[in-house]
Chain A
Amino acid sequence: MFPASFDFFKASSVADAVSILSREDDAKLLAGGHSLLPLMKLRLASPAVLVDISALEELAFVEDKGDYVAVGALTRHHDVANSELLKSAVPILPFVASKVGDPSVRHRGTIGGSIAHGDGASDLPAAILALDSDLVAVGPDGERVIQAKDFFLGFLETALRPNEILTEIRVPKFSGGWSYQKFNRRAQDWAIVGVAAVHNGSTKISLVNMASTPIRASAVEAALADGASVEVASGVASEGLEPPSDLNASADYRRHLAQVLVKRALTEALG
């Protein structure tokens, strides 16, 4: 399968990438390519212009910033999964990164690419959402910070503007319990349903593949805040949600899975 033809630019810096995005119509950023290229090969996406940012080494970093860890958008899943700093400061994040695809996919795919793609079935966007991370975007007017809860707007739609580039993910450190439950049939597949839970005073839970975007399990969070047991709280895991039906699972099966997996996640995170 071939992608449709496009014009190709290699960006020499973040500013260069922003200026190409601002100048060209219908341009998309290309990093590891493991979300975009499959869509282009299936002709579900046919951008006129690709701006290759994969060589921008200034965007591949993991840095200790005191209260939070700054992760450069071009940090590959492999490097997130193996970061000693993240393993000690935000252990759920490297664990989730190690569950994305398979080793060869993790050698190419980047955390920024995964988040900017905004797929409700992806692992990392849900983790970022449960962690209340801040996302840094750079555009023609400079930098702005978007909270994860305001980032995922709809099916493959994010708050990023067409001429903005996601540069950094700021992940708050935490010392409490956590869990990531990924249910799939084959090791390298997407989650049929996934659950990320972080317990740090309050408990935050987000769900994978239970909506068109990654989504917080607000009903469960509210129940726990009111003192409900794990048993009772996990029972409302799919309340108010419209999960997708596809070849892997019906919406009803996903609702059932969400309850089972939230219970497992809470048992692990709060235990």
Chain B
Amino acid sequence: MQITTIVNGRSYTKDVEPRTLLVQYIRDVLGLTGTNVGCDTSSCGACTVLLNGESVKSCTVLAVQVNGQELTTIEGMATDSGLHPIQKAFQENHGLQCGYCTPGMVMAAASFLNENPNPTEREVREALEGNLCRCTGYHNIIKSVLAAANAMEGAM
């Protein structure tokens, strides 16, 4: 089945089997391997991407369901002028250890900060409840998201 998607601002038209998962479409068909597969059961959040601006777990969406819609992956966050403020905040606050969960954390944070630009620490913790870090580096991840919120507020 032929589907057209706008991914990180670029339009792609591809043939996919109906059973193709969105994460396989992103990684294997489009070659955007920044999005990771973790648990493959919609628990860990490693595969989080933005669908029409909102975070979704791409292991639990069919590619054919997003025909005609817009996606943002971790590759779409940085611009020519540098890293996205959330990426920068993760870098500056050591918000990662092995880095496997990081693309998902950044995308979940992007969706959340769009909805709630001025969160409390508690709200950040609750917003990231669906993203697991097996290095258990949560402390600095929370710090990074709060720093990103500050930086993005300042920029607006």
Residues of A within 8 A of B (CB): 1-8, 10, 30, 33-34, 37-38, 41, 50, 52, 54, 78, 101-105, 107-108, 187-188
Residues of B within 8 A of A (CB): 1, 17-19, 21, 40-43, 45, 48, 51, 54-57, 60-62, 64-65, 67, 108, 111-112, 126-127, 129-131
A34 CA to B60 CA in the complex, in Å? 6
Closest Cβ of chain A to B139, distance in Å, is 16
Closest Cβ of chain B to A247, distance in Å, is 14
Residues of B within 8 A of A188 (CB): 43, 129-130
Known: A102-B130, A103-B127. A7 touches B61 (CB 8 A): no
Which of these, A1, A50, A103, A105, contacts B40 with CB under 8 Å?
Answer: A1
CB-based closest 4 A-B pairs: A102-B130, A8-B18, A187-B129, A104-B55
A147 CA to B99 CA in the complex, in Å? 49
A5 CA to B16 CA in the complex, in Å? 12
Verify A101–B130 contact, CB threshold 8 A.
yes
Residues of A within 8 A of B40 (CB): 1, 41
Residues of B within 8 A of A7 (CB): 18
Residues of A within 8 A of B43 (CB): 188
Verify A107–B55 contact, CB threshold 8 A.
yes
Q: Can you add 11 more A-B contacts, CB < 8 Å, to A5-B18, A104-B48, A107-B111?
A: A33-B60, A33-B62, A33-B65, A38-B41, A38-B42, A78-B54, A101-B130, A103-B55, A107-B51, A108-B56, A108-B61
Closest Cβ of chain B to A263, distance in Å, is 26
Verify A52–B130 contact, CB threshold 8 A.
no
Verify A102–B19 contact, CB threshold 8 A.
no
Closest Cβ of chain B to A188, distance in Å, is 5
Residues of A within 8 A of B108 (CB): 103-104
Residues of A within 8 A of B1 (CB): 8
Verify A52–B64 contact, CB threshold 8 A.
yes
A30 CA to B61 CA in the complex, in Å? 10
Residue from A1, A7, A103, A104 with most neighbouring chain B CB atoms (10 Å):
A104
Closest Cβ of chain A to B18, distance in Å, is 4
Closest Cβ of chain A to B27, distance in Å, is 14
A5 CA to B127 CA in the complex, in Å? 34
Residues of B within 8 A of A54 (CB): 65
Provide a sorted-by-A list of 29 A–B residue pairs whose CB atoms are within 8 angstroms: A1-B40, A2-B19, A5-B17, A5-B18, A6-B18, A8-B18, A8-B62, A8-B64, A10-B67, A33-B60, A34-B60, A37-B61, A41-B40, A41-B41, A50-B18, A52-B64, A101-B42, A101-B130, A102-B129, A103-B55, A103-B108, A103-B129, A104-B48, A104-B108, A105-B130, A108-B57, A108-B60, A187-B129, A188-B130
Which of these, A30, A101, A102, A103, contacts B62 with CB under 8 Å?
Answer: A30
